[in-house]
Amino acid sequence: MSKTVRIVEDIMSANDDLAQQNQTKLNQSRTLGINVMASPGSGKTSVILQTIAALRDHCQIGVVEGDTAAVTIDADKVLSAGMPAVQINTGGNCHLDAVMLSKALPELPLDEIDLLIVENVGNLICPASFSLGTHFNVVIASIPEGDDKPYKYPNIYRGIDALILNKMDLLPYIDFDLDYFKRGVQILNPDVRFFELSCRTGAGVAEWAAWLKGRIDQFGAGN
């Protein structure tokens, strides 16, 4: 039993060490990194594209796309939006880790990028356990997923700096108790910044983009 525990601890420690190296590289290039986590179908890529559209006149954005399969669907969308992107194929793994990100960073012109968005693999469990070296974490939830996700998957909500509730345009048509959802989040993470957003209508995008712009400016001023 102790041997198994030590092996697990060694793996996590090695990942954390490399994550720190990744963050050092981002700091050196004055690139703010965010780790975007969500379940499949929550609208991660749609939110990223809306973010690019809202901030393209303010900063240069790069994107790392994580997928379990060897596809470039999401990365191609980012490239079509005029921003650099790198696709990571995890080979079936359910999350990105610091090793994968360390291999992706040299493929990007970091010195020209103000904001690096890492789209993690769609999963509400594994990504919460592996640091990447980004500066803060974001979770995207969505109305169709149901209002009980903070109660069923608490770990991913505990360690985040911002939470986006996407697909708000569907709220009138789906049995989703918004107050119940918010209570669950507040119990786990009372200081998280919360944004209600709809990629379809554009509602809430400006508020999210303004907050993110403030973080980019603050990071740039401090480096």
- Please name the residue that has the structure tokens 């198994």: 4
Q: Which residues contact 42 (CB under 8 A, 6 or more apart)?
A: 122, 140, 141, 142, 145, 166, 167
Q: Which residue has the higher pLDDT, 161 or 8?
A: 161
26-33: average pLDDT: 97
Q: Model's pTM, two decimal places?
A: 0.92
Q: Cα–Cα distance between 167 and 196 in angstroms, integer?
A: 8
Q: Would you place residue 177 in the very low, low, confident or very high pLDDT band (cuts 50, 70, 90)? A: very high
pLDDT of residue 1: 45
Instruction: Kindly list the distances between the CA atom of residue 215 and the CA atoms of 5, 31, 43, 202, in Å, as whole numbers in the listed order.
Output: 38, 11, 22, 21
Percent of residues, the chain, with pLDDT higher than 90:
80
Domains in the chain, please, with CATH? 2-222 (3.40.50.300)
| 90 and 123 Cβ atoms separated by less than 8 Å | no
Beta strand 32-38 pairing with 85-89:
unpaired
Beta bridge partners of 64: 86, 118
Percentage of the chain lying above the pLDDT 70 cut:
94
Q: How confident is the model at residue 218 (pLDDT cuts 50, 70, 90)?
A: very high
Residue 209 pLDDT > 80, yes or no? Answer: yes
Asked if residues 75 and 86 have their Cβ atoms less than 8 Å apart, the reply is: yes
As given in the structure block, the two tokens for residue 115 are 């904001």
> HSE on the CB side for 168, CA within 13 Å?
16
Are β-strands 162-166 and 61-67 bridged in parallel, bridged antiparallel, or unpaired?
A: unpaired
Question: Strand locations in the chain, DSSP E?
Answer: 32-38, 61-67, 85-89, 115-119, 136-142, 162-166, 193-196
The lowest-confidence range among 85-94, 115-124, 162-171 is 85-94
Strand order in the sheet with 193-196: 85-89, 61-67, 115-119, 32-38, 136-142, 162-166, 193-196
Q: Is the distance from CB of 130 to CB of 95 less than 8 angstroms? A: yes
